[in-house]
Amino acid sequence: MGKKTALYASHLAANAKIVDFAGWEMPLHYGSQVQEHHQVRQDAGVFDVSHMTIVDMTGQTVPAFLRQVLANNIDVLTPGKALYTCMLNEQGGVIDDLIVYKMDDNFYRLVVNSATRDKDLAWLNAHAKEDSLKLAERTDLAMLAIQGPKVRHKLATLFDPTPLQAILDLKSFHAVTLGSLFIARTGYTGEDGFEIILPIAEAPALWEKLVAANIQPCGLGARDTLRLEAGLNLYGADMDEAVTPLESNLGWTVAWEPKERAFIGREALEKQQQAGLKRRLVGLVLLEQGVLRNHQKVIIEGMSAGEITSGSFSPTLNKGIALARVPVTIGAQCLVEIRGKQYPAQVIKPPFVRQGKNNTVAIA
């Protein structure tokens, strides 16, 4: 039996189809993952993402430590602000992608993937040599993501005017602490919304309140198609330790300035840039009806030249879509091999969908 979140009973009561996800028993869907996808694009949905690993780091040396282990630079953060970043190995390979929140000058919160929990904690601990640095995994906390264009409106019935205003005033990648709730304007769907971190004991009651406010439970199936349409990478599929952020459409998350900040992986990334990037991550839209799948071959000029890293079906576009790692020289079209046959696909710069609308623009 896998690990269960505080909301497991709520999922069963809502007829969830439960699947194993990185050792957790998580809801795949509650009936129809396509319906849940549309619900988030058009209205509002709530996801249990309590399987994510929350790590609180405290101590005077935390900022210096994070400047070293993260490829993005925490010095741009003020208290209550968040940053998306990769954590790299010496070769520039991606150990994980994560969100780091600055809680206070010497207090940062990291939210990392559950599938990489063990190696992330091992890496952090191995590099956290200073005694003054405290690292605590917060298994006492649950996490809910409420996502969709109508979320803001629906929160009005759930909070008193003062805290409600504090939530609605949050800018993207900003967070606020309201009593026992830590609420951030972040997400993994490409829609507006919030992620709420709270004590496990309070999670079922909040879940019930959100559902009662017509924020519909949505499973990990919809979460995956939503993030793919939004062009957001999935760790372990679209990037891993064998590739760098530069090869993963994540060059924007690498902070090169100041030059003297010697973060782990920097040298390798600089060498890769000087040598010239050979591969990059692009979006593919299948031009005929069908579904793209992980590991299908991308064919350019008759040669197998790349591979789909995340393929699926876009409920919004009603087309097969994918992220694929391909030569940087790829043109506006390529072929994808599906069951031994080749089908044309358009090459685009992700995202596929922006604010609920088709955003597929061909790469020149």
Using CB under 8 A as the criterion, which residues of the chain lie in contact with another protein when the complex forms?
Answer: 17, 28-29, 32-35, 221, 225, 289-291, 293, 312-313, 315, 320, 339
Question: Which residues fall within 8 angstroms of residue 357, CB to CB, at 6 or more apart?
Answer: none
For 225, list phi and psi in degrees, rounded to 5.
-70, -30
Which residue type occupies 314? S
Give the length of the chain: 364
Measured from the CB atom, the residue of 185 and 223 that comes closer to another protein is 223
DSSP for residue 137:
E
Residue 290 CB, nearest approach to another protein (Å): 6
Measured from the CB atom, the residue of 312 and 359 that comes closer to another protein is 312
Residue 37 CB, nearest approach to another protein (Å): 8
CA distances from 49 to 26, 206, 235, 349, 363 (A): 9, 14, 15, 28, 34
Measured from the CB atom, the residue of 309 and 312 that comes closer to another protein is 312
Residue 313 CB, nearest approach to another protein (Å): 4
Measured from the CB atom, the residue of 143 and 335 that comes closer to another protein is 335
Question: Which residues fall within 8 angstroms of residue 290, CB to CB, at 6 or more apart?
Answer: 320, 338, 343
d(CA 341, CA 331): 20
d(CA 269, CA 254): 9
Measured from the CB atom, the residue of 123 and 188 that comes closer to another protein is 188
Measured from the CB atom, the residue of 34 and 363 that comes closer to another protein is 34
The three state secondary structure string of 299-357 is EECCEEEEEEEEEEEECCCCEEEEEEEEECCCCCEEEEEECCEEEEEEEECCCCEECCE
